[in-house]
Amino acid sequence: MNYEESKAVITYTGEGWNANAKSLLEAVGADSFEWRRPLGRGPKHVRVEAALFAAAEAPSNRPMIHTFWSACTDVDTWRSSEKDRVERWIRSIAAGVEWLVVLAAPKVADKARTELKQSERCISSRDPALLRRVRQMLLTAISNEEQRLGQEVRRERERRNEQGWSFGEYLALQEQLAALLGTLKGAEDEALVQYDELDALFTQFVRNASLIEPPPWLNSFSAPLKEWRGLGIDSNARFAIVNSDASLLQLRVYLFTRQLNLLLKMNQPQQSQKRISSQIAERCLPLLQICSNELRILEVDFPEGAASCWAVQVSLQVLHVCRKYPDQVHSLPAATLCDYACQKLFQLGELLGLMPGGQGPSSAQIDAALWLGAGLGPEPPFGGEQLKEALGSPAAFQKLYLELAELALGTFKHLGRSRSARQLGHQLANFHQLRGDPHLAAAYLSDALTAVEGWPTLEIHILSQLAECLTGEKLAMARARLAASLTLELEVRKQHWHQLLQILKTLDDDGCVMPLEEVFDLVSVTPISGHRQQAYVNINSRLPEAVLVNPSLSVQTSLPQVSRKESNPRGRRLRGNFSACLSSEPIKIQPGLNEFILNAQGDLHTGHLSQLSLIMNDKMDFVSAEARLGIIEVKKGETTISVESGQLLARMPQKFQLRFTAGTDGIEEGTEVTIKAPRGLSLGDGGRQIVIELPKTEQGQDTVVTLEAIATPPSAKSTDIEYGLTLTSSLWDQAYPVSVHFTVPVAASVKLHTAMKTKFLQVVVSSTCRQRLMLSDPTLELSLGTCTPLPISSKPLTLDPDRPLSYIWQLEIEGPIRAKFNVNLTKDEVNGAYNCEFELAECATMIFVNSKVAAASGAEVCRANAMCHLHLTVEASEAIGYSLMYELLADQSMWAVCGRTAGVLNLDQPSHNLVLEVMPLTSGFLPHPQVRLSKYIPANAGSTHPKLEPFGPGQVYNKSKSLQVHVLPAIQSS
Amino acid sequence: MSGCYYFYIVCHTDSPIFEMEFMPSAKEPKKEDHRHLIEFIANAALDLVDEHMWRTSNMYLKAVDKFNQWFVSAFVTASNIRFLVVHDNKNEDGIKNFFMEMYETYIKFSMNPFYKQNTPIKSIAFEKKAQFYGRKFLTS
């Protein structure tokens, strides 16, 4: 159906019709007009073009208006004859069709308006409103038609699942609607919607066909393909479609061509050009993909390559159209389409033997190419004749392929779609490789490789391909990477490895430098500083086989120059300065973890361990990145000494070791060392200085010397004593200090006990060294008086760390004395002695105190809350020349002192009896209230206040100290 | 072969710094050929991720690409690290939750002063978290 045919129609009748009128009506489409539409759709500005027909020749089935052009210019003629003619004409018009009577003179028009009672439909040909009236009527006619068709389309669509419904017929109907809308300039998008609906409906049908039983009309689309023409309107195709006799591609091409035409129509400068034209390429790719999918779903049979051929053809045509819009040809959809076409073309090329590098197409392939070319049909309307040409000759094919690929590649890059570009580059590389241009292929592949860095399988895939395009050094590096790739199978890696060994033979002497981490993982580097510089290196080899390498580890002795921070492009590893390095004999590195030791050769250096280099076959140098792997230093060490001993006990002969570790120069045979001890420490046989001779000792070796010493600490106050030894020798410039720690093994304390006038001294010995000791022969020497040890076993006693020992002597002394305690210590058959001195103050018993609590007079027993008497007796053993002060110290929770609590006794008689009143507060066995006695020195001239002086320990003996009194509960008063 | 998820964290230089597969527990893991395809799809989707992320203010970009039965869902962190999940059945909410949790985990991980940006993530704790969230939101 041609759009020209579907224009709205204006018919004309009457003598008034002439060239003027014709040119007048032809201007109908010159101006746009607001089209108010029903069903809530927004108004649109449209232009209506109409075709003019004489009434007799007018086609039917088109929106139309009828016009009657009267030539009558005077009112009389109108009345006599013209009016009848017009009325007859009006009656002949079918109902619902718009009509208009155009009269030559305004006054006749006025007359007609009143007489025909149709003021809107009679107009003078000179009236300026004539055009507007015509347009309005045309729009009304079209609107009516649109509504009618729209309803019909909707009704048909509802029936789509009924038996006998046919897509072809439905398409014809909806196309009418589309065509009608297409006549309105400015409403092409509405027409496009109709085709989009058709497209969507069909797509849905095909999609459902894979799930449910397809309707019979769909079967025709499953017919084998006989031709695969590109875009273009083919009236036969439309006929076939309507009759359900078309192929799938025919239908798709037809729909898309319609859509394309409408898009192009919409693509007028005044429209938003960019938006619409970008849709052309954007719509094409889904079409191609959907089609190839639908061919599969419907199981359409077609010669191999036909679908690709068709896709390329359509792509080429669309790209050709896009070329008219310079901004479009470089748009993303166009590039994607181009990319798609490239892929399809590549497939075609492989199928038909058109790829470079081969022997050219075989005769079968030539036949297939001819067959495919024939299927494209005659000259396509949108360009795209290149494909036919390309199918015929490899050269043309390659040219076309490169053209497309480079266009897509350039556009991708331009739009910043770097990964898409690299993917396409990857494909292009295949092509160039076939063409025998490995350099170009390598360039594309290297670029593609950067895009997939870190994606193991992709990387290896591209790298394997890249290896095919490289030579020499680069090839060696690629092979090494492949051999070390854990993604590949072991067998494949071994192949790469053997190829690498072959290549290395052909490399010139410069060899190549490769990053170490591509093949080995540097696990750790442990530097050992000192006179013998070493480094332990741990690496993990990913190579499939063992390899013999020359290892070396550079030492960076100076700071790197900051300004020379050069950019290190990937794969280009620079070998740093190895003038100072640790190295070793060639070593064999097995697959997996390896540890080896590198030694300093010749001079020693101080600096950072920087680069590890493993040179294989003298050609390939695996170098790690420059880094600070650790610090290595040169140490010119002196002989050092350390003390080795357990816990050393004072006052006993003890042994300890001095370990001499020889420094860089070693120790000469017979070197003399003088050891001086401080006061309180005697060495060897009792002196404070000894001289020892050392044997010959190599550097780094040890010599141990054992010394014996006795420490006699001056006092027993501290338990841990440090002694500083001073060693002098030719080994050191200055005296070498060494400190030794001693622990005092035991500590002793004394306690004085009194029984009436008898005195006992208890010496408690406890261990302070947490070791078990044997104690024997305790003695106590007094400065005055005598002492008798209480009979205990004279056998040695064992002193455990947590169990102190006690010795007791009965004393017969007068006045203050000094006592010295001695005891022998034995530990592990080593004997020592411990002694300590005590001061004892005056301690002879002078006063005896006796107290007794009894119930107050009348009562027999003590009761709580009842007054009791405390009978206190104070006796002096001999006359003393001062008064005594007594104080009652009662526990306030048990006793309440009712009367006096303190008083002064004048001891002019040997014994005093006092009665004090106390009241027990609770019942039970209560301890007696305590009585404290002090010397009372009354106030005299020297001091204004009396003074109290306490007695020394043991001078006052309390006979009733631990007595208790039984107190009964208080009597309950009723 | 449905219900598989392949998770990638892609750094600024387009290299994956973390990858993990999530399979429904009943299924045997597939062989290498599959892996090549998945990597290919994930890598190819990066262009689309870069394009999509300017179109929305959300970090979760939903499905950005589709290849045969495979979908690629993406998430872009504030520092432009891209999370990709290649999956073969729709699970928009699950993937979103998974991404959010992994984002949290990744942030915590990247705070570690000993972790250098754009280097592979080698952390057992991180892997365990990923596995846990994968089980919780994807394969359960």
Beta strands A592-600; A534-541: pairing state = antiparallel
Q: How confident is the model at residue A543 (pLDDT cuts 50, 70, 90)?
A: confident
Q: What is the pLDDT of residue A241?
A: 81
Question: Residue A319's closest CA among A419, A386, A229, A242?
Answer: A386
Give the nearest chain B residue to A424 (CA atoms). B44
Contacts of B84 in chain A (CB under 8 A): none
Contacts of B120 in chain A (CB under 8 A): 454
Whether A6 has a pLDDT exceeding 70, the answer reads no
Q: Per the structure block, which two tokens stand in for A29?
A: 């489409």
pLDDT digit string, tens, across residues A548-576: 888 888 888 776 555 444 445 554 677 77
Nearest neighbour of A454 by CB, restricted to B16, B36, B51: B16
Question: Residue A640's closest CA among A528, A526, A530?
Answer: A530
pLDDT digit string, tens, across residues A638-663: 778 888 888 888 888 888 888 888 77
Rounded average pLDDT over A324-344 = 82
**Cβ–Cβ below 8 Å for B17 and A452:** no
**Cβ–Cβ below 8 Å for A453 and B15:** yes
Give the nearest chain A residue to B41 (CA atoms). A458
Burial of A72 (0-12, 13-18, 19+ CB in 10 A): buried
Is the separation of the CB atoms in A365 and A352 below 8 Å?
yes
Contacts of A457 in chain B (CB under 8 A): 32, 35-36, 39
Residue A456, H or E segment: helix A456-469
Is the Cβ of B33 closer than 8 Å to some Cβ of chain A?
no
Q: How confident is the model at residue A636 (pLDDT cuts 50, 70, 90)?
A: low
Whether B7 has a pLDDT exceeding 90, the answer reads yes
Q: What is the pLDDT of residue A12?
A: 84
Rounded average pLDDT over A345-358 = 84
**Cβ–Cβ below 8 Å for A458 and B40:** yes
Give the nearest chain A residue to B18 (CA atoms). A454
Q: What is the pLDDT of residue A435?
A: 83
Q: Which residues pair with A74 in a beta bridge?
A: none
C-alpha to C-alpha distances, A409 to A274, A330, A340, A419, A426, nearest whole angstrom? 22, 10, 12, 10, 11
pLDDT digit string, tens, across residues A757-816: 888 888 888 888 888 888 888 888 888 777 888 876 678 888 888 888 888 888 887 777
Is the Cβ of B9 closer than 8 Å to some Cβ of chain A?
no
Whether A709 has a pLDDT exceeding 50, the answer reads yes
**Cβ–Cβ below 8 Å for B16 and A417:** no
d(CA A883, CA A886): 10
Residue the block writes with tokens 């034995």: A826
Q: How confident is the model at residue A3 (pLDDT cuts 50, 70, 90)?
A: very low
Q: What is the pLDDT of residue B83?
A: 94
Ranges assigned E (strand) in A497-586? 512-515, 520-528, 534-541, 547-556, 581-583
**Cβ–Cβ below 8 Å for A487 and B32:** yes
**Cβ–Cβ below 8 Å for B14 and A417:** no
Q: What is the DSSP secondary structure assignment for residue A687, as one 8-state letter?
A: B
**Cβ–Cβ below 8 Å for B36 and A454:** no
Q: Per the structure block, which two tokens stand in for B51?
A: 């394009």
State the ipTM, two decimals. Answer: 0.85
Is the Cβ of A362 closer than 8 Å to some Cβ of chain B?
no
Nearest neighbour of B43 by CB, restricted to A417, A455, A487: A455
Contacts of A454 in chain B (CB under 8 A): 11, 13-17, 120
Q: What is the DSSP string of chain B?
A: --S-EEEEEE-TTS-EEEEEEE--TTSPPP-HHHHHHHHHHHHHTHHHHHHHTTT-S-SEEEEEEEETTEEEEEEE-TT--EEEEEESS--HHHHHHHHHHHHHHHHHHHH-TTPPTTS----HHHHHHHHHHIIIIII-
Nearest neighbour of B35 by CB, restricted to A416, A419, A457: A457
Residue of A937 and A196 predicted with greater confidence: A196
Q: What is the pLDDT of residue A431?
A: 87
Is the Cβ of A698 closer than 8 Å to some Cβ of chain B?
no
d(CA A539, CA A536): 10
Q: What is the pLDDT of residue A1?
A: 43
Q: What is the pLDDT of residue B125?
A: 93
Nearest neighbour of A419 by CB, restricted to B16, B32, B46: B46
**Cβ–Cβ below 8 Å for A423 and B44:** yes
* CA distance, residue B100 to nearest chain A CA (Å): 24
Nearest neighbour of A457 by CB, restricted to B15, B39, B44: B39
Q: Is A431 helix (H, G, I), strand (E, B) or coil?
A: helix
**Cβ–Cβ below 8 Å for B47 and A454:** no
Q: Which of A15-24, A928-937, B12-21 has the lowest mean pLDDT?
A: A15-24
Give the nearest chain B residue to A451 (CA atoms). B14
Is the Cβ of A452 closer than 8 Å to some Cβ of chain B?
yes
Is the Cβ of A753 closer than 8 Å to some Cβ of chain B?
no
Burial of A364 (0-12, 13-18, 19+ CB in 10 A): exposed
Rounded average pLDDT over A452-465 = 85
**Cβ–Cβ below 8 Å for A419 and B42:** no
Name the average pLDDT for chain A. 81
Other C-beta atoms closer than 10 Å to the C-beta of A295 total 23
Beta strands A630-632; A607-616: pairing state = antiparallel
Q: What percent of chain A is modeled with pLDDT above 90? A: 0
Whether B128 has a pLDDT exceeding 80, the answer reads yes
Nearest neighbour of B47 by CB, restricted to A417, A455, A456: A417
Contacts of B81 in chain A (CB under 8 A): none
